């Protein structure tokens, strides 16, 4: 081939083109499947314990974050989950990768909230990093029932204090932790991430990238890419968008993160648990199902409204027909 020199910039530019294509395909996906998700919502609203059973069948990359006490709380009180792409709802032109998780709960012994929502925004940082960022969400824990042992509340407090700082002060103070931050850091170390409650996920923050920084970085990267593609191969991007050292600028944020895998979990729920919920629910049913023969021999005699196939909160239904 005449030109046998391949640069990182060329590979990264192509990756960016793939990302753009993928983003538009996600937009299509959301539009095409919206009526199907509505239909699903109507069906599963009639099945108590649908979501708890789905969570019980979750793949290991979700299940590993669910402690026994979380599992028991979810099983007893999770009544609905919806995952939506809030930036493109109602004709919005935002990023289809941004996510809103809405959990609905019954009265339970742990917290007062009936609804807990968490938003993740797709952002691009000046250093080239792209991904989901969020804000800590508070939960109104009942006395002595906080599954995060106070961590979630502390995260919110620390985050609010940082938000209140001017940018100058934040930059000056960034190396010295405040009293609250030191307390948070110690609590995180004491808890150990392996035994962290699923509900600590609501405290995930991620990289500190504002909407403005993201928009600017996106535009700059696109401009540079176009200029390179127009033949100006000497454009010096000084490491921006080079994919090489994405994490460097943000390393110091991580020590106050109570749920470092927050983005991974958000993606696993939105791309696996949420779209495949019926599959997981069916799987849960099959595990407790009487054999098909048993079902079929009874089917003829079965009358609508009989109680033996009724679906209670305590146990999965034994037979083919699900009822509430």
161/299 with CB nearer a second copy = 299
| Shortest Cβ 67–a second copy spacing (Å) | 24
Q: How far is the CB of 215 from a second copy (least distance, A)?
A: 24
Using the minimum distance from each CB to a second copy, give the nearer residue, 153 or 295. 295
Smallest separation (angstroms) from a second copy to the CB of 69: 29
How near is the Cβ of 110 to a second copy at its closest, in Å? 29
Is the Cβ of residue 29 or residue 109 nearer to a second copy in the bound state? Answer: 29
> Do 207 and 253 meet the contact criterion of CB atoms below 8 Å apart?
yes
Q: Give me the half-sphere count of Cα atoms (radius 13 Å) on the Cβ side of residue 319.
A: 17
Q: Confirm if 9 and 228 have CB atoms less than 8 A apart.
A: yes
Residues in the site for a second copy, rule: CB under 8 A? Answer: 1, 3-8, 10-12, 14-15, 17-18, 21, 24-25, 28-29, 32-33, 36, 39-40, 42-47, 239, 243-245, 275, 278-279, 281-282, 285-286, 289, 292, 304, 320-324
Instruction: Characterize the bridge pairing of strands 99-105 and 78-84.
Output: antiparallel
Write phi, then psi, for 87 (nearest 5 degrees).
Answer: -75, -15
Q: For residue 184, is it left (φ>0), alpha (ψ between -120 and 50) or beta?
A: alpha
d(CA 322, CA 151): 40
With respect to a second copy, which residue has the nearer C-beta, 82 or 285? 285
Local structure of residue 258 (DSSP, 8 states): S
Min CB(140)–a second copy separation in Å: 30
Provide the minimum distance between the beta carbon of 286 and a second copy in the complex, in angstroms, as a whole number. Answer: 6
Min separation Cβ 222 and a second copy, Å: 16
Residues belonging to the chain:
324
Q: Which residues contact 55 (CB under 8 A, 6 or more apart)?
A: 62, 66, 71, 74, 75, 78, 273
Q: Which is nearer to a second copy, 69 or 237 (CB)?
A: 237
Residue 24 or 112: the one with the smaller Cβ distance to a second copy is 24
Q: What does the alpha-carbon distance between residue 204 and residue 262 come to, in Å, rounded to a whole number?
A: 6
Report the nearest approach of a second copy to the CB of residue 202 (Å).
28
Give the SS3 label for residue 127.
coil
Chain-centroid distance of CA 165 in Å reads: 28
Cβ closest to a second copy, residue 11 vs residue 173: 11
254/324 with CB nearer a second copy: 324
DSSP string, 55-75: HHT--HHHHTT--HHHHHHHH
Nearer to a second copy, 76 or 274 (CB): 274
Dihedral over Cα of 119, 266, 131, 246: its sign = positive
Q: Which distant-in-sequence residues (6+ apart) come within 8 Å of 57 by Cβ?
A: 280, 281, 283, 284
Q: Where are the beta strands (DSSP E) in 106-168?
A: 115-124, 130-134
Least distance in angstroms from the C-beta of 159 to a second copy: 31
């Amino acid at each position: 081939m005449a030109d046998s020199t391949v640069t990182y910039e060329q590979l990264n530019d192509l990756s960016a083109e793939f990302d753009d294509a993928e983003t538009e395909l996600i937009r299509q996906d959301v539009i095409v499947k919206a009526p199907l998700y509505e239909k699903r919502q109507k069906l599963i609203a009639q099945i108590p314990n649908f979501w708890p059973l789905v969570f019980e069948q979750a793949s290991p990359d979700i299940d590993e974050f669910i402690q026994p006490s979380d599992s028991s709380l979810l099983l007893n009180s999770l009544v609905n989950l919806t995952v939506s792409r809030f930036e493109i709802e109602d004709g919005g032109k935002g990023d289809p990768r941004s996510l809103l998780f809405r959990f609905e709960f019954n009265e339970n012994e742990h917290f007062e909230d009936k609804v807990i929502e968490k938003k993740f925004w797709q952002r691009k940082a000046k250093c080239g990093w792209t991904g989901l960022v969020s804000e800590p969400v508070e939960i109104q824990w009942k006395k002595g029932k906080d599954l995060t042992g106070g961590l979630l509340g502390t995260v919110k407090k620390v985050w609010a204090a940082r938000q209140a700082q001017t940018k100058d002060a934040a930059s000056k103070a960034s190396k010295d932790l405040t009293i609250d931050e030191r307390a948070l850091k110690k609590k995180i170390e004491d808890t150990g991430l392996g035994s962290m409650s699923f509900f600590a996920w609501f405290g995930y923050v991620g990289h500190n990238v504002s909407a403005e920084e993201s928009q600017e970085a996106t535009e700059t990267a696109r401009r540079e890419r176009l200029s390179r593609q127009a033949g100006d191969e000497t454009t010096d991007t000084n490491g921006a968008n080079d994919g090489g050292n994405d994490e460097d600028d943000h390393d110091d944020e991580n020590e106050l993160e109570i749920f470092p895998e927050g983005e991974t979990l958000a993606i696993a729920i939105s791309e696996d648990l949420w779209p495949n919920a019926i599959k997981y629910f069916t799987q849960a049913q099959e595990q407790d199902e009487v054999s098909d023969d048993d079902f079929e021999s009874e089917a003829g005699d079965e009358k609508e409204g009989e109680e033996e196939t009724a679906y209670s909160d305590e146990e999965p239904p034994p037979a083919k027909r699900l009822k509430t």
